[in-house]
Copies of this chain bind each other. A is one copy, B any other.
Amino acid sequence: MIFRNSLLSSASVINKVKLQRVVVSTTTPALASTPLIRRCLFSTTNNNTINTTNTINNNTTSTTLISKLKHQLVDSINSNNMEASTFSRSGLEDLLKRRFFYIQSFQIYRGVAGLYDYGPPGCAVKSNLINFWRQHFVLSEDMLEVDCSALTPEVVLEASGHVAKFSDFMVKDELTKAYYRADHLLEGHVEKMLEDPKLTPEKIAELKHVLTKAGDYPIEELKAALTKYNVKAPETNNAISEPYPFNLMFKTQIGPSGHSVGYLRPETAQGIFVNFRRLLDFNGGKLPFAAAQIGNAYRNEIAPRSGLLRVREFTMAEIEHFVNPEDKTHPNFAEIADIKTNLLSAAAQDTTKEIEVTTFGEAVAKGLINNQTLAYFMARTQQFLHTVGIKPARLRFRQHQSNEMAHYASDCWDAEIHTSYGWVECVGHADRSCYDLTVHSKCSGTSLTVFEEFKEGPKMVDSIDVNMNKGLMGKTFKKEAKAPMDYLAALADKVDEALAIQQQLTEKGVYTLTIDGVAFNVTKEMVTLTKTQKKVAGVTYSPHVIEPSFGLGRIIYAILEHAYWVRGGDEQRGVLSLAPIIAPVKCSVLPLTTSEKLAPFVSKIIKILKEAGISNKVDDTGNAIGRKYARTDEIGIPFGITIDFTTPEDQTVTLRERDTTKQVRIPIADLAETLKKLCDNTTTWDVVSTTYPIYDSNSE
């Protein structure tokens, strides 16, 4: 294999990746009616991360200045990992297309950007990945899996903030009306400016600063920069329009009336939030619990690119773990506390740029990761990614910096996988506090809180006895009386405020309540607030939610890159070293020749494998056996059974392991059990190759 596992010795932030679902300016109060949603998970503006690290890609069209600027880190990684430099993206892409892992959709109609179809091997990899995800998360963790509609009425996405703010900024050529993503255009323009050899050092610094910030600019700053640098439409040199937001959701009409706007969901999470009440009931009214969903989401990208990494239709797997905000410990935390991981903290991104190798237990203990539950899911994600074939050294968790994290979130960590496109965000992990449930509760008018009984039984708590003279208040405030009366009644549970008011009433005889801008002079004759105690059975709260969110297409692409190499440096002999659990087919069945003597063994072995549930692929063409092996290596089949002329004599076949090409001679009767164990990791190739005689073949 070309990429060996090696710990990253140094690391730095490549660029600021904006991945939060909702960014609200810090001066905006929580739950403001129009939170500024700029970016969802798997954001559309982190393309700089994706489309830049061309240093290990032999086949990029041009290595732009912006790439050079932003990716010194990856250069240094690669210089420490010489084998990586043999990776050929075009070799992999050619293989994937030729063997129909996936291709652009509707190709006979010239295709559609950002849409991909998975062919048989890609489809099998995807369904293996989904099944293992379900096994690893839903079944192992007793999650409540749901399957919700992708068509979503406008009211739901208005509540979540997507209708107002799930946008990228566009500009148009004033004459031709051609459109561009505004931040891309600015970056391209500034890169060109930087080519001017006569620039002063100050100007260079300024322009470089613009490059690192362009993707983060709010609309006003973007507009100012486009004007300042006199950016024109690149093809025509025409003037461009001011930047304007383009909503990334696909819009449609639900029903025939023409008045019911709907969207294709841009993420699966909302389906879980709107079903929270029923899920809570399903769980017996108890927290914590996690709901999960695997399904498609849709984003109308302005400029899809980078293959499966930036698409318009994609499969997500999302978990929403609901917890009591006062208790984010996790009962199984001890099981993962000692697992090592690569963390790139927010602080390190500002300072050393170095990845810290630590354990999840240490990271929580020193407050680097906010809480046990968040760390637990990060660890489970790491286990998942390692198992499906992501190289440990090429996986890191990057913490969101304060300026890219939503105001309500306590902590966010993206699992980033290193590919030839750079570090790619593949799984987000966010502690989203109570944001989502609170906005849906408010907009739908449905309570989405939890009542939790005290474990130790009911207890006495401080309370306020509110004794009002309603007659006097009614006479004084007339039809406005309801507001101050409601306010005072609600003081029953606000002990401190009530006592402060009573103190002023006692001292001055009057207290001025201001409700929605209207002042009410409440006198000591109108109300008496007395401290008392009451018995309460439990507490009502808005659960917090911790969300791991997986982009399966991105993970599939990363798996394929990490698995790809060429045997003996021969470009014609590509191999995908896919883990058996992910491999599209587990085993090949290869008669050495087309001889009639061998044919009955083909059917016999296929029957045995089918009964054992081991997927297989037969190649009974007249091709040479070496050619047959090469074809199975290309689609990642881990084991190959060869039927040769010894088979009819002693009922044995050879079994070949893909990565080493080593073979053993094994009785047909032992095949099913051995393969099953190899595929579910209950035995290893080392054990098999000491159990059975090695078969020495010159066929490779």
Complex CA gap A443/B147 in Å reads 36
- Of A26-34, A108-116, A377-385, which binds chain B? A108-116
**Stretch from A122-130, A214-222, A227-235, A523-531 at the B interface:** A122-130
Cβ distance A635 to chain B, nearest Cβ, rounded Å: 10
Q: Given the interface contacts A151-B115, A252-B264, does A156 sit within 8 Å of B106 by beta carbon?
A: yes
Q: How many copies altogether?
A: 2
A293 nearest CB neighbor, chain B only? B123
Q: Which of A137-145, A362-370, A688-696 is near enough to bind chain B?
A: A137-145
**Residue contact B264 to A117, C-beta cutoff 8 Å:** no
Chain B residues closer than 8 Å to A155, beta-carbon distance: 106, 109
Asked whether any CB of chain B lies closer than 8 Å to the CB of A132, the reply is no
Instruction: Provide the residues of chain B in CB contact with A277, threshold 8 Å.
Output: 108
**Cross-chain contact A139 with B253 (CB below 8 angstroms):** no
Bound Cα distance A252, B251 (Å): 6
Bound form: Cα–Cα A489–B106 in Å: 35
A510: chain B residues within 8 A (beta carbon): none
Cα of A103 to Cα of B275 in the assembled complex, Å: 9
Please state if B120 and A145 are interface contacts (CB–CB under 8 Å): yes
Contact B100 A117 (CB under 8 A): no
Q: Mark A129-168, 1 if CB is under 8 A from B, else 0.
A: 0010011000110001111111111011000000000000
Among listed A202-210, A278-286, A344-352, A541-549, interface-contacting one: A278-286
A313 within 8 A of B: yes
Task: Tell whether, in the assembled complex, residue A179 and residue B257 are in contact, meaning their CB atoms are under 8 Å apart.
Answer: yes
B254 adjacent to A312 (CB under 8 Å): yes
Q: Report Cα–Cα, A99/B170, bound state, in Å.
A: 47
- Smallest Cβ distance from A76 to chain B, in angstroms? 38
Could you mark each residue 88-121 of chain A with 1 if its beta carbon is under 8 Å from any beta carbon of chain B, else 0? 0000000000011001011111001101111110
* A278 near B115: Cβ-Cβ < 8 Å: no
Residues of B with C-beta under 8 A to A257: 179
Judge whether A376 is part of the interface by a CB distance below 8 angstroms. Answer: no
Which residues of chain B are near A621, meaning CB under 8 Å? 284
The answer to whether A100 and B300 have CB atoms under 8 Å apart is no
Q: What is the bound-complex CA distance between A275 and B104, given in angstroms?
A: 10
Q: How far is the CA of A124 from the CA of B294 in the complex (A)?
A: 12
Q: Which of A179, A275, A610 has the most CB of B within 10 A?
A: A275
Contact of A313 among B118, B151, B246 (CB under 8 A): B151
B100-A151 in contact (CB<8A): no
Assembly CA distance A328 to B333 (angstroms): 60
Contact between B300 and A109, CB atoms less than 8 A apart: no
Given the complex of chains A and B, what is the CA–CA distance between A440 and B108 in angstroms?
A: 9
- A312–B152 Cα distance when bound, in Å, is 12
- Answer whether A278 and B100 are a contact pair too, CB < 8 Å, given A108-B440, A127-B134, A152-B106: yes
- 9 more contacts with CB within 8 A, not counting A106-B274, A149-B313, are A105-B149, A109-B156, A109-B443, A112-B153, A120-B145, A124-B145, A131-B131, A252-B252, A256-B302
3 tightest A-B CB contacts, nearest first: A118-B147, A108-B444, A117-B148
